[in-house]
Structure 1
């Protein structure tokens, strides 16, 4: 490359800028001063790089910056550095493009989490409860530890350090790891990073083997006969909610979110919409007459709220900006307080234990496995899931009516009712064989 001749001087540059006429003048060695008709003065380095297969050099133009932000002397210094890089075989134009791309894509974890929440972590793709605990993981753990970090700089070591510092239980740590991995999967999809840094992290290596899963409790008949007669000790609304939860076999959150508009007591049915269901698929719950009376009592107690179980604390209503339902743990908090006071002289149980209790007693009553699974709104598999698409299932109504009658007997001290038939379902399990087409 030829030696620079330094053709320009500061007086010329100031005069050209004052005249505001388009100009393009070389300082030598490819460094050019340009002035547009709008008055923008720019330094450009023109150079040739290598040769193509036809023997012709590739012509390039690199914008160094604007004048007078970059003085004549500084422009010459920068041009000299770029020429040295060119002589070494580098291409400053490509390097600048790569730098711009990296800057544009180098999101912080906070920006990445926000983008993920806006685009992916939304209903109905995810249940409201899932969205709630994922956001809690981000706000309480991920962002405090990694929020300001560029996503491209986070490594597996950073993720492990975050999990250790969070000091959560094994199960919650596993959930936090999953929440974090989902965000970095999103980053991979955005082509912000080449690989997910959570891949390969094993929680067992950090915290040891997963603790044994707690055995579900099935409350026996004698325990139900002790619990139910005095159930009002946890409060009238809580007691009615517990009776309904036990009798309908639904999940606690499905009852907590119940709206009165979805109750059709004249038809003895309760519709649980998609957004309230873990499987994201709404379903119809048949209601026995006694259970319908419990629903009616709650409706009478709910006032003007659209919810069957409206929030009881002003703080919760204020946080939710108006009418809302009770929290998901309200009922179980009432039970914990009662157990702490030793007011309930039976084994302690958890929310899911109402479902295992119902499942066990339904099977003991002779209800088939399939119908007992449907009663709990568990997804069936195979042919049954494909072809049995009924909303109103008579066998389910019969099973829940038997179960409600049994619960009333436990509460009132009456003898246990006789189960109807040993098998309620007429569904036959079909096995798929090789070559079978569905």
Structure 2
């Protein structure tokens, strides 16, 4: 029997000439059934008196020379008493078993989702805060790892990455949540030890100090200028920032707002109790500028029920933008243009409004209600007046001042600096 050649094999493939077998000698042959797109190498041999066949691989992955070399090695193993076909099947069984075992392993992503559904959803007032940490920090860092494989080094690397991007408070939050998730897994006998136990806040973002950061008129002017020129900064983000400044509301209250909460004709935002930190509904007066910005957001929402609808498909679909969308956009596009300003966060906008309201002579109890703070002490117990008209007047003056700052007409605008004046904002 003549030996095969690469030329004739290629001609058979090109001509679509199928066959059951064509031998090369010593048990090696090529098989090209109709259902195959490429011929396959096989080796026929005898073991313990029985005829055996083992597949070596396709011609596309195993050349004629390689097939001959592999066949020679396998014949040598058969001579030594090994059943090469059975060995291959055993390797296949082991590989399949490993794949199935891997599929059965609980990954950190699965644990986080399970924990969120069982312990957070339906129990926490703002579950999306936890969901944000899961999707933005935990899953990208350790989500694909089986929980039994996660070591303290993985936790350490995750925390350091969060701190490095300038989010120490979030690093502390992530540490708290992963500790709880691993404890949850231990209780259900998924793992035996918590790899995050040895860590405390000193290994994450450190002790959290009360912030006193607020933006001066000069810094606000720089912020408005940056929003006009920053590449990649979109109109929705700009309107959101302006509304957060004007209304002095919490970020989540605005981002999670539905369009039907606003009466733009009357100029009122009816913020429901289930979305306020105080669990008390509040009617927020809307300055003229806020009404204009809200109308534009409604128009950009193209009929969505949400003021700030999600802009892209998400793994766990949330109808509105993520709580960190604007924060991330500011860090990427705006802050690099404000090199003279100290670091600030969106939460500092509330303190900024409170500080400027005080500077404009707004009475403290009015300014506090503008931020939806409960009035403390005896006065808070007995005085249930909501000061709607007074708040409306104060917020309109604040909105007008922001307009002047943006246009460069505020005569009090000074170069960026931060005097030692502060007001707390929760």
Q: TM-score range by the shorter chain?
A: 0.5 to 0.7
225 and 176 in structure 1: CA distance in 2 versus 1, 3 angstrom threshold: closer
Q: In the alignment, which of 302, 305, 322 is matched to residue 327 of structure 1?
A: 322
How many pairs does the alignment contain?
A: 296
Matched, 1:412 2:404: no
Give the structure-2-normalised TM-score: 0.54
Give the structure-1-normalised TM-score: 0.53
Tell me which residue corresponds to 1:164.
Answer: 156
Contact 2:370 2:395 in 1 (8 A): yes
Q: What is the CA-CA distance between 1:384 and the residue it aligns to?
A: 5.4
- State the distance in 2 between where 1:262 and 1:185 align: 40
Tell me which residue corresponds to 1:46.
Answer: none
Task: Spell out the pairing of 1:282-431 with structure 2 (5 A cutoff).
Answer: 282-312=281-311, 316-317=312-313, 319=315, 324-339=319-334, 342=337, 349-383=344-378, 386-387=381-382, 393-414=388-409
- State the distance in 2 between where 1:138 and 1:211 align: 21
Tell me which residue corresponds to 1:220.
Answer: 216
Contact 1:127 1:280 in 2 (8 A): no
Q: Note the alpha carbon deviations across 1:267-305, whole angstroms, 9 max, x for none.
A: 211133455445565533211123212212222232222
SS class of match (1:317): coil
Tell me which residue corresponds to 1:179.
Answer: 177
187 and 281 in structure 1: CA distance in 2 versus 1, 3 angstrom threshold: farther
Tell me which residue corresponds to 1:147.
Answer: 147
290 and 340 in structure 1: CA distance in 2 versus 1, 3 angstrom threshold: closer
SS class of match (1:406): helix
- State the distance in 1 between where 2:225 and 2:411 align: 15
Contact 2:258 2:306 in 1 (8 A): yes
371 and 192 in structure 1: CA distance in 2 versus 1, 3 angstrom threshold: farther
Tell me which residue corresponds to 1:270.
Answer: 269
* Structure number with higher relative contact order (C-alpha < 8 Å, ≥ 6 residues apart): 2
384 and 184 in structure 1: CA distance in 2 versus 1, 3 angstrom threshold: farther
Q: What is the CA-CA distance between 1:235 and the residue it aligns to?
A: 3.9
Contact 1:163 1:173 in 2 (8 A): no
- State the distance in 2 between where 1:130 and 1:288 align: 29
Gaps of 5+ in 2: 1-105, 413-426
Q: Note the alpha carbon deviations across 1:355-394, whole angstroms, 9 max, x for none.
A: 2211110121222333333322345545455555566733
- State the distance in 1 between where 2:227 and 2:107 align: 49
RMSD across aligned C-alpha pairs, in angstroms?
Answer: 4.4
- State the distance in 2 between where 1:122 and 1:298 align: 29
Q: What is the CA-CA distance between 1:248 and the residue it aligns to?
A: 0.4
Matched, 1:210 2:206: yes
Contact 2:172 2:206 in 1 (8 A): no
Q: What is the CA-CA distance between 1:416 and the residue it aligns to?
A: 6.7
Q: Note the alpha carbon deviations across 1:185-213, whole angstroms, 9 max, x for none.
A: 7689x7989x9979985616756x92675
Tell me which residue corresponds to 2:37.
Answer: none
Q: What is the CA-CA distance between 1:249 and the residue it aligns to?
A: 0.6
307 and 210 in structure 1: CA distance in 2 versus 1, 3 angstrom threshold: same
Q: Note the alpha carbon deviations across 1:387-432, whole angstroms, 9 max, x for none.
A: 5556673333232122112212223344579xxxxxxxxxxxxxxx
Q: What is the CA-CA distance between 1:246 and the residue it aligns to?
A: 0.7
SS class of match (1:377): coil
Tell me which residue corresponds to 2:242.
Answer: 243
Gaps of 5+ in 1: 1-107, 150-157, 418-438
238 and 126 in structure 1: CA distance in 2 versus 1, 3 angstrom threshold: closer
Q: What is the CA-CA distance between 1:171 and the residue it aligns to?
A: 4.2
Tell me which residue corresponds to 1:129.
Answer: 128
